[in-house]
């Protein structure tokens, strides 16, 4: 089965609204990261967050390892937040860090 699943597949918001993106992963997965990709742009790591909660600016990532889920919360969304957000994991906690991506959540923030 798929080792990392993201939801929703796409999301449309009005500027100022909050967004909650979800990532569910297999039981042996670890070392979770969240990435952002602007259309046509480079993938950028937002958080390395294998467990617990991390904040940066308007972004908050919370990973609950024993429930095999992680969320990315975007508060007060802006049009510049539009793009695709990916969750990535190491599926088997390998010594060499194997990184597998989900299919992403496409976010579109309207002005």
Partner 1 sequence: EAGVTQSPRYAVLQEGQAVSFWCDPISGHDTLYWYQQPRDQGPQLLVYFRDEAVIDNSQLPSDRFSAVRPKGTNSTLKIQSAKQGDTATYLCASSFGGRGNERLFFGHGTKLSVL
User: Could you give the string, one character per residue 61-90, with x where binding to partner 1 holds by CB under 8 A and - elsewhere?
Assistant: -------------------------x-x--
33 binds partner 1 (CB under 8 A): yes
d(CA 57, CA 55): 7
CA dist 86 and 22 (Å) reads 10
| Nearest-angstrom CA–CA distance, 73 and 42 | 21
For tokens 């999301």, the residue is 11
Q: Across-strand partners of 56?
A: 59
Q: Is 96 in the site for partner 1 (CB under 8 A)?
A: yes
* Beta carbon nearer to partner 1, 28 or 45: 45
Considering the rule CB under 8 A, would residue 101 count as an interface residue with partner 1?
yes
Which residue ranges make up the site for partner 1 (CB under 8 A)?
31, 33, 35, 41-45, 48, 86, 88, 96-104, 106
């Amino acid at each position: 089965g798929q080792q990392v699943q993201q939801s929703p597949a796409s999301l449309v918001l009005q500027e100022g609204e909050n967004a909650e993106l979800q990532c569910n992963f297999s039981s042996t997965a670890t070392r979770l990261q969240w990435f952002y990709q602007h259309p046509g742009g480079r993938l950028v790591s937002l958080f390395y967050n294998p467990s617990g909660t991390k904040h940066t600016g308007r972004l908050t990532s919370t990973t609950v390892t024993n429930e095999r889920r992680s969320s990315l919360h975007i508060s007060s969304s802006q049009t510049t937040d539009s793009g695709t957000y990916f969750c990535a994991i190491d599926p088997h906690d390998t010594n060499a860090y194997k990184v597998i991506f989900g299919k992403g959540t496409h976010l579109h923030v309207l002005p």
